[in-house]
């Protein structure tokens, strides 16, 4: 009981720490969006406006991530027996869709900008984007620790890290405009930003969609897990292994196991639970049968040692 209480307290502390970090990131980036958009409008810079629009989408993404994390802490009930943990997966998908919409908007504006000859200030662009490097870089550093085991935070971290690189690109465009007076550079930078965002979003979109469809989480190496199950002492064969994500940080599994001796059931269950845990599966339900009560055939998908 002491161990369970300690784990619950540590988990609660981790959630509070991530929430505080997200709030700080939201306020920091919202302030920068306002400043960057204002300068972008003043100097008619599509590079700054597109970057501000993308940064604004990041603010909404951070808000959604904060909302999902808070929802995940709510208790389970008769309608949602796993609680609201799946909301973290849904938010990851929504964030990816928001970014795709932003890409479309930036590309349209970039094409329109190619027809425009309005002069813009390269110095203003460079200085503003330089501040963006500091803001986005700081935000990415704040999110770096939490992104390792959470798709939500990982998505936010990748966005902010990519934004830092994008801001570097805008600084370069401002310098080039100052020396060449070629204002089309701003439009091309806008297109480059859109393509960079598209590339960084694709993996997030794919992972989120897969998790929504209850696919095996990317970090679970299913082939190796199947082999390990078959090699567990006491396991004669196994079937009906299903692995899915409860949230962006928790995975679940069900498994039917045929054992040679009922006396070995508890020890075999303990070993299998420990094995599943090492593969990042924290919720598992294992059903046991004996060789006498179960007839394993190919139609049921039974495996004596490994799938191969």
Structural domain span for residue 150: 2-212
- Closest C-alpha to 186, from 285, 242, 111: 111
Residue 308 lies in a domain: no
Residue 77 lies in a domain: yes
Shared-domain flag, residues 65 and 90: yes
Residue 250 lies in a domain: yes
Residue 22 lies in a domain: yes
**CA 174 to CA 186: how far, in whole Å?**
8
The upper half-sphere exposure of residue 68, i.e. CA atoms within 13 Å in the direction of its Cβ, equals: 27
Residue 96 lies in a domain: yes
CB 69 within 8 A of CB 15: yes
Shared-domain flag, residues 46 and 116: yes
Q: Tell me the Cα Rg of the chain.
A: 25
**CA 217 to CA 222: how far, in whole Å?**
9
H/E element, 292: none
Shared-domain flag, residues 47 and 169: yes
Residue 217 lies in a domain: no
> Taking CA 34 as the corner, what is the angle to CA 181 and CA 57, rounded to the nearest 5 degrees?
95
DSSP helix/strand/coil, 172: helix
- Start-end of H helices in 43-121: 46-72, 87-113
DSSP readout, 201-229? HHHHHHHHHHHHTTPPPTT--HHHHHHHH
Q: Write b or e for each residue in 115-129: b if 16 or more Cβ atoms lie within 10 A of its Cβ, otherwise e.
A: eeeeebbbebbbebb
pLDDT by residue, tens only, the chain of 308 residues: 444 344 444 444 456 667 788 888 889 889 888 887 888 788 777 666 776 776 787 788 788 888 888 887 888 888 888 888 888 888 888 878 877 887 787 788 778 777 765 666 667 777 777 887 888 888 888 887 766 667 777 777 777 777 777 777 778 777 887 778 776 777 787 788 778 778 877 888 888 899 999 999 988 999 999 999 999 998 999 999 999 999 888 899 999 999 988 888 999 999 999 999 999 998 999 999 987 555 555 445 555 444 33
Shared-domain flag, residues 208 and 232: no
Question: What CATH number did the domain enclosing 199 receive?
Answer: 1.20.1510.10
Q: Which residue has the tokens 């990041």?
A: 58
The count of structural domains within the chain is 2
Tokens of 58: 């990041």
Tokens of 303: 């495996």
Whether pTM > 0.75 for this model: the answer is no
> Taking CA 139 as the corner, what is the angle to CA 133 and CA 140, rounded to the nearest 5 degrees?
85
Structural domain ending residue among the three candidates 180, 212, 244: 212
Shared-domain flag, residues 191 and 65: yes
Shared-domain flag, residues 19 and 100: yes
Shared-domain flag, residues 145 and 244: no
Question: What CATH number did the domain enclosing 227 receive?
Answer: 3.30.70.1350
């Amino acid at each position: 009981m002491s161990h369970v209480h300690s784990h619950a307290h540590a988990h609660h502390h981790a959630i509070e720490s991530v929430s505080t970090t997200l709030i700080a990131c939201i306020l920091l980036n919202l302030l920068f969006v306002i400043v960057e958009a204002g300068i972008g409008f003043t100097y008619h810079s599509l590079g700054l406006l597109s970057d501000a629009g993308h940064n604004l989408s990041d603010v909404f993404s951070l808000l959604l991530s904060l909302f999902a994390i808070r929802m995940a802490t709510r208790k389970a009930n008769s309608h949602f027996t796993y609680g609201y943990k799946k909301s973290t997966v849904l938010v990851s998908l929504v964030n990816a869709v928001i970014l795709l919409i932003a890409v479309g908007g930036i590309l349209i504006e970039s094409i329109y900008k190619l027809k425009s000859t309005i002069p813009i200030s390269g110095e203003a662009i460079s200085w503003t984007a330089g501040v963006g490097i500091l803001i986005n870089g700081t935000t990415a550093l704040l999110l770096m620790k939490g992104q390792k085991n959470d798709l939500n935070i990982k998505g936010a971290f990748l966005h902010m890290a990519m934004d830092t690189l994008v801001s570097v690109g805008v600084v370069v465009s401002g310098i080039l405009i100052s020396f060449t007076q070629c204002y089309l550079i701003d439009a091309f930078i806008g297109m480059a930003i859109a393509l960079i965002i598209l590339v960084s979003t694709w993996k997030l979109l794919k992972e989120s969609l897969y998790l929504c469809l209850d696919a095996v989480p990317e970090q679970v190496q299913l082939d190796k897990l199947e082999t390990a199950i078959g090699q567990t002492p006491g396991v004669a064969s196994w079937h009906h292994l299903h692995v899915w994500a409860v949230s962006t940080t928790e995975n679940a599994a069900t498994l039917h196991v045929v054992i040679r001796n009922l006396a070995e059931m508890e020890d075999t269950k303990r070993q299998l639970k420990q094995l599943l845990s090492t593969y990042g599966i924290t919720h598992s339900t294992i059903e046991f049968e004996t060789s006498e009560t179960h007839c394993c055939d190919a139609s049921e998908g039974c495996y004596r040692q490994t799938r191969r």
